Structure 1
């Protein structure tokens, strides 16, 4: 029997809330993850934090906050997980927000 990573819940586009998105983007480590994903999808293992001493459980929590806010999509890919930025959904709900935040953070 093979074990496959479960699908995680993601909010629908119409359920994205500005306060949740802004909260998710307010943390420097979460924002660093979003900046990495702005270049394209990554395997979760390739996504790194600025402080390598941060525990794996903290990294998972950072990803969970971003996913539950609707900023990223976290989907199974083989034995790992694939992360992608929900650019189209964020742009449809909050035009220009993601680009502005990424520009200001750069």
Structure 2
């Protein structure tokens, strides 16, 4: 019989003061990651990992989430067994003013 988990699952996030512009731009340069960012921007809140529409496998999408999280673009947390994602909009705006809105606007114009 499996023992119940005694501590909640957590996900580590960088302080945005430690994230470089280069790191953020490299994370946002990939078209799949831009799709994720745009879908989160349209959602205006949280989205579960399994609810994104992308042309890649789940394991590849997990890699893309990791890159975005490590670049400070998204925040992830668990609610039960579901991993939820949200943009770090206010924090990104304070660190890199105008970056996320410009990326979302350009990506949606391209689509």
Tell me whether the two structures share a fold, i.e. TM-score over 0.5: yes
Q: Structure 2 length as normaliser, TM-score? A: 0.85
Cα RMSD (Å): 1.4
Decide whether the 8 Å contact of 1:5 with 1:80 is kept in 2.
no
- Give the 4+ runs in structure 1 shifted more than 6 A: none
Corresponding residue number in structure 1 for 2:38: 35
Corresponding residue number in structure 1 for 2:80: 78
Corresponding residue number in structure 1 for 2:23: 20
Which residue of 39, 58, 61 maps to 2:60? Answer: 58
Q: List alignment gaps of at least 5 residues for structure 1.
A: none
Q: How many residues align?
A: 103
Q: Distance in 2 between matches of 1:10 and 1:66?
A: 10
Q: How many angstroms does 1:58 deviate by? A: 0.5
Corresponding residue number in structure 2 for 1:11: 14
Q: List alignment gaps of at least 5 residues for structure 2.
A: none
